C-alpha cells in the first residue's frame, strides 16, 4: 500500500480487504462521485497517450503497441471501480437499509455512465484492434504475438465493446446510453419491489390448529419471526406464529401445513408478489401497489431496441453472442430434448400425487391445485422412502457440514481450509472468515485464497437466495507480488435458534456445496491475468459447471456419511437414510426438470419473440409456453414473471437456460469420477487433481469446450444428466 493510500477514505482504498463498517451510506454519497471524476480523468489521459502512440505507429510500421500500454492500465481503472462499487453492491445485498439503498440508487447512474464511456471509447477500441492486427501479423514468439489467455481477453474485450455500442454514432449512441441507464435503474427497482413485496406480507397464526402439521423447527422459526415483530411472548408451542413469503418460511409451510385453506392463502400471496393485484402485492411508501408489470414490458422493449441498434434481431441473439451455446436453435434443441423426456415423467408424478391424496381420502384428490403439490409430494416422499427431510436436519449442523465440505476439498483438490475468524473485518457478527492453503492436511502450506461465509437468512436486510461474489480477484501487483483471491459466499439457511446450531436441510447442504463450487473456481485459479482469472471471462452458460459439479458430492456415500452426524448424540446418519436420500434424488425429477425448462423457454422467447404491439402480453406468451411445459396450468393470479429476478433484476436475460446447459457439463464431469469408481481412492484423487488443474484452474483463459475436453478427454454428452435426473426409465 502506498503511504498516500492510507489517508484515503475506506471506500476509495481500492485494494485489500474492505473495512465494511467504514463504508456507510454517507461515504457512498460523499466519495463515489469524486472517484468517478478521477477515473474519468485517468481514462482521458490514457486515451491521449494511446492517441499519440497510434499516430506514431501509423507513421512508423516498425513500432508496436504493447499490452502493458493498454490492457494493464485499463484493467487497473476497472479494478478501482470494481473494488469500491463492488463493496457497496455487496453491502446493499447483505445489509440492506433504506439509507443504503437510496445511496446506492443515487450513484448507480454515474457508475453506469462511466462504464459506458469506457466501454465506448473509440480510441481504446482502435487500440484493441491494433493489438489484434499485430497478433495476426506475428508468428508465435515474435513481438506482438499474444498467448492464448491474452487472445481470449482481447477477443472478449472487443466483443463487449461492440455490445456496448462502440460502433454507434451520434444520436443513436446517445439513445443507446440513455436506455442502458434506464435499464439499470429498472432492474434495481424490480429487485427492490420483489424484496418489499416479500417482506410486506405476513400471516399471523394464533390458534394451534392453524399450525397443524408444521414441524417443530418451523414452528420455532415462525415464533421467532413473531418475536422479532414485537410479540415478545411468542413461543414455538403456543404461538403466535408469523408466516412470511421468504423461502425459509414459505417453502416448508407449503410442504407441511395440513391446513389447505392456509396453504392456498400463502401460495396466492407468493405468486402474486409485486404484481399490483391480489390481497397481498404489497405497497410502496406512497401507498401505490407494488407492480412490476409495467417494468417488465419496459425492460423487454428497451432490450429489444438495444439489440436492433447493435445490429441483432433481438436480445436473445445479443445474449448468445457471448456464450458457449452457438445459437437459439442449439439452446431450444437441448431444452426440447429435456422437455420431451420430462413431460411424461411429470404427468406420471402428478397422477401419483392424486393417488396418494385419494388414499388419504383428501377432498382435493380430484381437484389438485398448485398449493397442494408440495404437501402431497412430501407425503408421498415420506411414504415411498420414509424420508422426512425435516427429520434429517439434526444430522446436518452447519459446523459438521463445513468440516465435511472442507475435507472433501482436501481429498479432491489437495488443499487445506482453516478458520481465520478475526483476521478480517466482517459486516455482521454471524459472518465467518476462512483461509485456503496449498496441500492437504497441512497447516503450513502456502496460503492461496480466503473467503467469507455469511450463512443465515436475515429477512428484511439480506437479499434472498444464495450466491458467490468476488471480493478480491487473483492478479499480479505492479511490484510483482500476487494478490490472492477472496470470495464472498452468501447463503440464506435457517439461523440458529437459542442453543441449537443452524440445522440444515439436505437442500441447504446442496446449496452450500453449490456456492462453494463457484468459490473454488474463483479461489483455485492459477491465471494471474485478472480478466481471465477464476470466473472472469468464463462464458455464462459454462459458469455453473463447478457449482453443480460440487452438488453431486452430496450424494456420494463417503462424503455424506463422513459429515452427517447428529448434532447432540454424534451418531452418524443411518445407512438406510442415505439410501433414501439417493432414491429421493430423482423423486419428482420430471416436474423439477420441466419447471426449469419452462423458465428457460419463457426467458428465451420473451427475449426473441416478444415486442411491444406484438399482439400479446408477456404473461400471455408465458401462458402459451406453459401449455406444454407445465402439468398444472398457472392459476389466474400467478404472476411469476413479476418476481423473476434472475432475468429482470439479475444478469440472466436470455440466459436462464444456462443452468441446464451447464448441468450437462457438470453431470458429465462427475461421471468421470463414477467411471473410475467412487471407492477407488487413488483414482479419485488423480481425477480430482485433474479437475482442479483444468476446470478450476484455467478460468476464462481457454475456450470452455477446450477446458472440458482437457478434463474429460472428449466433448460433453447429455447422457449423464438424463441418467442422473432419472428420466431414462419413462
In the complex, least distance from residue 467 CB atom to Zn ion, rounded to whole angstroms: 7
Around Cβ 343, how many Cβ atoms within 10 Å?
20
Site string for Zn ion, 152-181 (x = CB under 5 A): ------------------------------
Catalytic residue among 210, 515, 544, 551: 515
| Residue 146 exposed, middle or buried by CB count within 10 Å (0-12, 13-18, 19+) | buried
In the complex, least distance from residue 547 CB atom to Zn ion, rounded to whole angstroms: 4
- Please, which residue, 332 or 544, has the CB nearer to Zn ion? 544
| Contacting range for Zn ion; rule: CB under 5 A; set: 312-320, 384-392, 542-550, 583-591 | 542-550
Residues 6+ apart with CB under 8 A from 54: 65, 123, 126, 127, 130
> Among positive and negative, which fits the CA dihedral 541, 542, 546, 548?
positive
CA distance 249 to 251: 6
CA angle 609-612-616, nearest 5°?
A: 65
- Please, which residue, 210 or 551, has the CB nearer to Zn ion? 551
| Contacting range for Zn ion; rule: CB under 5 A; set: 75-83, 192-200, 447-455, 536-544 | 536-544
Question: What element of type H or E holds 131?
Answer: helix 122-137
- Please, which residue, 404 or 519, has the CB nearer to Zn ion? 519
The yes or no reply on residue 658 touching Zn ion (CB under 5 A) is no
In the complex, least distance from residue 466 CB atom to Zn ion, rounded to whole angstroms: 8
- Please, which residue, 547 or 586, has the CB nearer to Zn ion? 547
510 touches 553 (CB < 8 A): no
| Contacting range for Zn ion; rule: CB under 5 A; set: 77-85, 160-168, 544-552, 561-569 | 544-552
SS3 239: strand
Binding Zn ion (rule: CB under 5 A), the pick from 202, 547, 666, 701 is 547
- State which residue has the least CB distance to Zn ion: 547
CA distance 537 to 534: 8
| Contacting range for Zn ion; rule: CB under 5 A; set: 228-236, 399-407, 539-547, 683-691 | 539-547
| Residue 232 exposed, middle or buried by CB count within 10 Å (0-12, 13-18, 19+) | exposed
* Rg, the chain, Cα only: 26
- Please, which residue, 196 or 551, has the CB nearer to Zn ion? 551
- Please, which residue, 166 or 667, has the CB nearer to Zn ion? 667
In the complex, least distance from residue 541 CB atom to Zn ion, rounded to whole angstroms: 12
In the complex, least distance from residue 514 CB atom to Zn ion, rounded to whole angstroms: 6
In the complex, least distance from residue 548 CB atom to Zn ion, rounded to whole angstroms: 7
Q: How many residues bind Zn ion (CB under 5 A)?
A: 2
| Contacting range for Zn ion; rule: CB under 5 A; set: 417-425, 543-551, 558-566, 684-692 | 543-551
533 touches 482 (CB < 8 A): no
Question: What element of type H or E holds 685?
Answer: helix 681-691
CA proximity to 90, closest of 422, 471, 428:
471
- Please, which residue, 414 or 551, has the CB nearer to Zn ion? 551
Site string for Zn ion, 496-535 (x = CB under 5 A): ----------------------------------------
246 touches 464 (CB < 8 A): yes
In the complex, least distance from residue 671 CB atom to Zn ion, rounded to whole angstroms: 20
249 touches 457 (CB < 8 A): no
CA proximity to 685, closest of 405, 412, 408:
412
Give catalytic status of residue 515 as yes or no.
Answer: yes
Binding site for Zn ion (CB under 5 A): 544, 547
Catalytic residues: 515
Amino acid at each position: 500500500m502506498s503511504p498516500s493510500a492510507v489517508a484515503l477514505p475506506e471506500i476509495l482504498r481500492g485494494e485489500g480487504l474492505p473495512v465494511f463498517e467504514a463504508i456507510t451510506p454517507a461515504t457512498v454519497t460523499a466519495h463515489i462521485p469524486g472517484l468517478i471524476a478521477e477515473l474519468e480523468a485517468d481514462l482521458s489521459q490514457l486515451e491521449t497517450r494511446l492517441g499519440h502512440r497510434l499516430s506514431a505507429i501509423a507513421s512508423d510500421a516498425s513500432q508496436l503497441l504493447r499490452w502493458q500500454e493498454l490492457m494493464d492500465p485499463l484493467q487497473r481503472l476497472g479494478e478501482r471501480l470494481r473494488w469500491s462499487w463492488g463493496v457497496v453492491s455487496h453491502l446493499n445485498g447483505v445489509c440492506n437499509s433504506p439509507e443504503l439503498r437510496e445511496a446506492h440508487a443515487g450513484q448507480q447512474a454515474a457508475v453506469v455512465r462511466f462504464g459506458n464511456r469506457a466501454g465506448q471509447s473509440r480510441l481504446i477500441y482502435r487500440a484493441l484492434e491494433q493489438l489484434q492486427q499485430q497478433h495476426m501479423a506475428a508468428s508465435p514468439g515474435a513481438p506482438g504475438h499474444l498467448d492464448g489467455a491474452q487472445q481470449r481477453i482481447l477477443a472478449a474485450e472487443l466483443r463487449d465493446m461492440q455490445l456496448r455500442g462502440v460502433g454507434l454514432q451520434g444520436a443513436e449512441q446517445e439513445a443507446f446510453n440513455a436506455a442502458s441507464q434506464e435499464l439499470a435503474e429498472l432492474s434495481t427497482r424490480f429487485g427492490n419491489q420483489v424484496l418489499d413485496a416479500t417482506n410486506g406480507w405476513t400471516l399471523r397464526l394464533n390458534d394451534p390448529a392453524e399450525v397443524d402439521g408444521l414441524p417443530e423447527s418451523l414452528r420455532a422459526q415462525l415464533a421467532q419471526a413473531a418475536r422479532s415483530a414485537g410479540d415478545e411472548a411468542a413461543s414455538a408451542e403456543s404461538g403466535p406464529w408469523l408466516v412470511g413469503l421468504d423461502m425459509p418460511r414459505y417453502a416448508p409451510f407449503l410442504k407441511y401445513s395440513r391446513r389447505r385453506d392456509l396453504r392456498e392463502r400463502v401460495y396466492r400471496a407468493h405468486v402474486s408478489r409485486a404484481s399490483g393485484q391480489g390481497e397481498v402485492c404489497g405497497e410502496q411508501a406512497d401507498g401505490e401497489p407494488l407492480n412490476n408489470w409495467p417494468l417488465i414490458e419496459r425492460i423487454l422493449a428497451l432490450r429489444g431496441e438495444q439489440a436492433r441498434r447493435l445490429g441483432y434481431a433481438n436480445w436473445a441473439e445479443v445474449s448468445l453472442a457471448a456464450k458457449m451455446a452457438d445459437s437459439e436453435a442449439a439452446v431450444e434443441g437441448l431444452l426440447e430434448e429435456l422437455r420431451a423426456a420430462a413431460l411424461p415423467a411429470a404427468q406420471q408424478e402428478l397422477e401419483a400425487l392424486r393417488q396418494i391424496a385419494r388414499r388419504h381420502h383428501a377432498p382435493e384428490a380430484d381437484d389438485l391445485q398448485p398449493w397442494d403439490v408440495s404437501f402431497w409430494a412430501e407425503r408421498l416422499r415420506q411414504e415411498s422412502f420414509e424420508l422426512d427431510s425435516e427429520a434429517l436436519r439434526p444430522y446436518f449442523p452447519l459446523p459438521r457440514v463445513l468440516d465435511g465440505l472442507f475435507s472433501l476439498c482436501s481429498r479432491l483438490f489437495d488443499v487445506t481450509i482453516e478458520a481465520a475468524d478475526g483476521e478480517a473485518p466482517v459486516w455482521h457478527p454471524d459472518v465467518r472468515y476462512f483461509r485456503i492453503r496449498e496441500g492437504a492436511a497441512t497447516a503450513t502450506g502456502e496460503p492461496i485464497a480466503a473467503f467469507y461465509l455469511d450463512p443465515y437468512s436475515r429477512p428484511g436486510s439480506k437479499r434472498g437466495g444464495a450466491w458467490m461474489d468476488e471480493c478480491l480477484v487473483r492478479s499480479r501487483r505492479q511490484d510483482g507480488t500476487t494478490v490472492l483471491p477472496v470470495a464472498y459466499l452468501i447463503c440464506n439457511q435457517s439461523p440458529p435458534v437459542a442453543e441449537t446450531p443452524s440445522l440444515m436441510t439436505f437442500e441447504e447442504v446442496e446449496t452450500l456445496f453449490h456456492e462453494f463450487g463457484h468459490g473454488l473456481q474463483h479461489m483455485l485459479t492459477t491465471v494471474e491475468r485478472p480478466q481471465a482469472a477464476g470466473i472472469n471471462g468464463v462464458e455464462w452458460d459454462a459458469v455453473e459447471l463447478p457449482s453443480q459439479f460440487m452438488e453431486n458430492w452430496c450424494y456420494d456415500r463417503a462424503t455424506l456419511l463422513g459429515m452427517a452426524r447428529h448434532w447432540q448424540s454424534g451418531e452418524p446418519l443411518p445407512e438406510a437414510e442415505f439410501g433414501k436420500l439417493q432414491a429421493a434424488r430423482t423423486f419428482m425429477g420430471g416436474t423439477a426438470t420441466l419447471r426449469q425448462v419452462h423458465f428457460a423457454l419463457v426467458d428465451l422467447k420473451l427475449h426473441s419473440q416478444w415486442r411491444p404491439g406484438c399482439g400479446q402480453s408477456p404473461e400471455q406468451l408465458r401462458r402459451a409456453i406453459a401449455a406444454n411445459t407445465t402439468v398444472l396450468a398457472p392459476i389466474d393470479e400467478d404472476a411469476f414473471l413479476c418476481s423473476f429476478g434472475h432475468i429482470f433484476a439479475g444478469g440472466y436475460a436470455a440466459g436462464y437456460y444456462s443452468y441446464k446447459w451447464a448441468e450437462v457439463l457438470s453431470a458429465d464431469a462427475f461421471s468421470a469420477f463414477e467411471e473410475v469408481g467412487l471407492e477407488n481412492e487413488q483414482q479419485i484423487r488423480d481425477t480430482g487433481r485433474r479437475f482442479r488443474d483444468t476446470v478450476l484452474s484455467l478460468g476464462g483463459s481457454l475456450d470452455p469446450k477446450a477446458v472440458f475436453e482437457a478434463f474429460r478427454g472428449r466433448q460433453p454428452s447429455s447422457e449423464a444428466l438424463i441418467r442422473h435426473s432419472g428420466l431414462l426409465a419413462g
